[in-house]
Amino acid sequence: MNKQARPRSVKSAALFCLAWVSLFAAPGMADDAFPPPGSIEIPAGPFIMGSDAAEREAAYRLDEAAYGHSVTRQRGWYDHEPQRTVELDAFRIMETPVTNAQYAVFLKETGHTPPSVGREEWDGYGLIHPYERAQPYIWQSAAPPAGRENHPVVMVSYQDAIAYASWLSGKAGKAWRLPTEAEWEKAARGPDGNYFPWGNTFNAALLNSHDAGPFATIPVGSFPDGASPYGLLDAAGQVFEWTATPAGDTRHIVKGGSWDDKGCGVCRPAARHSRSDTIKHILVGFRLVSD
């Protein structure tokens, strides 16, 4: 990892999270004093959504070089990203994914079930990851796993994300919701159709992926040089993120790539696939938008 892309101090991030939790959990705190989450404004206007043949070819070649095979090409992973110009209204989006510390406040106030999954349920998902790989992300109480306070929350279903958005809207006095696929993609790549948040050339030092990462989540905002043109952080790698765009009756589109991926064709903002609304995956988190 180069000097410019070095992650922020983990100690500083942890101190920030502890202060954040203390502030949100202060006794007798009125809702109108609730501090809004850090967010950035995405201006109204058009942007290029999806990919053209040149971008898809570049993505397949990255995967082939990283994995030594052509499975993503053979399965046509990136063949359903039609490029078009999309017009959107202005909105605000959280700068980073929701963290464990932020999610913990929601759990303590609502009694919502903490992120957890049993072996039988996990095995039923049919994932390549063994159950043992999920265990570091399982919460034993309403407090997050030690040392992961400023990591993105994972193992949250689509319904969990919706419940958090409803709670946050009430606390902040402002409506928060999951972004549409188009909103997420514009915030992540800018208006001009960048292949990656930072440009068209893949750089493993600018994101948390399996190419150069620790094969685990890390504190959010650790790669400021990997920001999108609007300043969105963790938009490639780290964790996939739920969107409000359906892909059938019980599935929704997720975007962004994860710490488990390398190549990293799937880490492009144009890349897309769906997950079951009920899955609680170690690779999937979320962030919210407001109008």
Q: Is residue 208 part of a domain?
A: yes
The pLDDT value given to residue 31: 52
pLDDT digits 0-9 by tens, 2-17: 333 333 433 334 333 4
Whether the bond between 267 and the residue before it is cis, its omega within 30 degrees of 0, is no
d(CA 210, CA 207): 9
- What total of structural domains would you count in the chain? 1
pLDDT digits 0-9 by tens, 143-194: 999 999 999 999 999 999 999 999 999 999 999 999 999 999 999 999 999 9
Enter the pTM of the model. Answer: 0.88
The pLDDT value given to residue 27: 33
Q: Which of 83, 145, 71 is nearest to 115 (CA)?
A: 145
DSSP for 162-220 reads: HHHHHHHHHHHTS--BPPPHHHHHHHHHTTTT-SBTTBSS--GGGSBSTTTS-SS---T
Work out the average pLDDT over 226-240: 98
Q: What is the CATH number of the domain that holds 49?
A: 3.90.1580.10
Q: Is residue 234 part of a domain?
A: yes
d(CA 197, CA 236): 7
Work out the average pLDDT over 40-64: 98
Q: Is residue 4 part of a domain?
A: no
Handedness of CA 193, 254, 261, 265 (dihedral sign): negative
The pLDDT value given to residue 34: 64
pLDDT digits 0-9 by tens, 106-148: 999 999 999 999 999 999 999 999 999 999 999 999 999 999 9
Q: Is residue 14 part of a domain?
A: no
pLDDT digits 0-9 by tens, 71-95: 999 999 999 999 999 999 999 999 9
- Identify whether the C-beta of residue 204 lies closer than 8 Å to the C-beta of residue 246: no
Q: Where are the beta strands (DSSP E) in 65-173?
A: 84-88, 91-94
**For tokens 């290029």, what's the residue?**
48
**Torsions phi, psi for 99 (to 5 deg):** -95, 165
**For tokens 């050339």, what's the residue?**
201
Q: Is residue 31 part of a domain?
A: no
Q: How far is CA 146 from the centre of its chain?
A: 21
DSSP 246: E
List the domain range (segments joined by +) for residue 83.
37-290
Work out the average pLDDT over 46-65: 98
DSSP 237: B
The pLDDT value given to residue 262: 94
- Mean pLDDT (the chain, rounded): 90
Q: Is residue 2 part of a domain?
A: no
Single-letter residue type at 50: G
The pLDDT value given to residue 18: 36
Residue 142 has which token pair?
Answer: 């309403």
Q: Is residue 12 part of a domain?
A: no
Work out the average pLDDT over 242-268: 97
The pLDDT value given to residue 32: 52
Q: How far apart are the first and last CA of the chain?
A: 37
Q: Is residue 133 part of a domain?
A: yes
**Total number of residues shown for the chain:** 291
The pLDDT value given to residue 33: 53
